[in-house]
Amino acid sequence: MSFVVSALPVAPFQPLFTLSDTELAGRGILRRTVDGPGAPCRVTLADAEPGESVLLLNYEHQPAETPFRSRHAIFVRENAADTSFAPGELPPVFRARKFLSLRAFDASGMMIDADLVPTPELEAAIPRLLADPQVAYLHAHYAGAGCYAARIERA
């Protein structure tokens, strides 16, 4: 079964790029200059490079009115552009991690399965979880910090 990984669209974040640090702070958002690895952009699904400017903000990635409604911190590169991936293609940011947590949700937003997956096994684990007809989509999370990474659906 083929799958597609979806990055977040840049449009909701673009108005934030022109705000001052004070205005961002008033919204609970921080502007950071990347000084090393560990700033995975959710729009490009690639790690920001040292010296790049990113926004660190809270994002509701699971808005369903269920016990699994969730939000967490994410990074967005200030020069981000919409990014798409071909069916079956894994983003660079996934391959740069040792493990990802895959969480399977039904159409109502209830988690019905989950797995902690070593990166080399993602291409097998994703179709296995999506093979369950009750699964509507997956969320990938970074295993260490638990942050939302991306949505995965059937292609």
Distance separating alpha carbons of residues 82 and 17, to the nearest angstrom = 15
pLDDT of residue 37: 84
3 state SS for the chain = CCEEEECCCCCCCHHHHCCCHHHHHHCCCEEEECCCCCCEECCCCCECCCCCEEEEEEEEEECCCCCCCEEEEEEEECCCCCCCCCCCCCCHHHHCCCEEEEEEECCCCCEEEEEEEEHHHHHHHHHHHHCCCCCCEEEEEECCCCCEEEEEEEC
The residue type found at 92 is P
**43 near 81, Cβ under 8 Å?**
yes
Tell me phi and psi for residue 130, to 5 degrees. Answer: -75, -15
Q: What is the pLDDT of residues 45-98, one digit of tens each?
A: 999 999 999 999 999 999 999 999 999 999 999 999 999 999 999 999 999 999
What are the Cα distances from residue 125, in Å, to 18, 24, 47, 68, 70?
40, 38, 23, 21, 23
Q: Is the pLDDT of residue 145 over 90?
A: no
Q: What is the pTM of this model?
A: 0.94
> What is the band of 38 on the pLDDT scale with cuts at 50, 70, 90?
confident
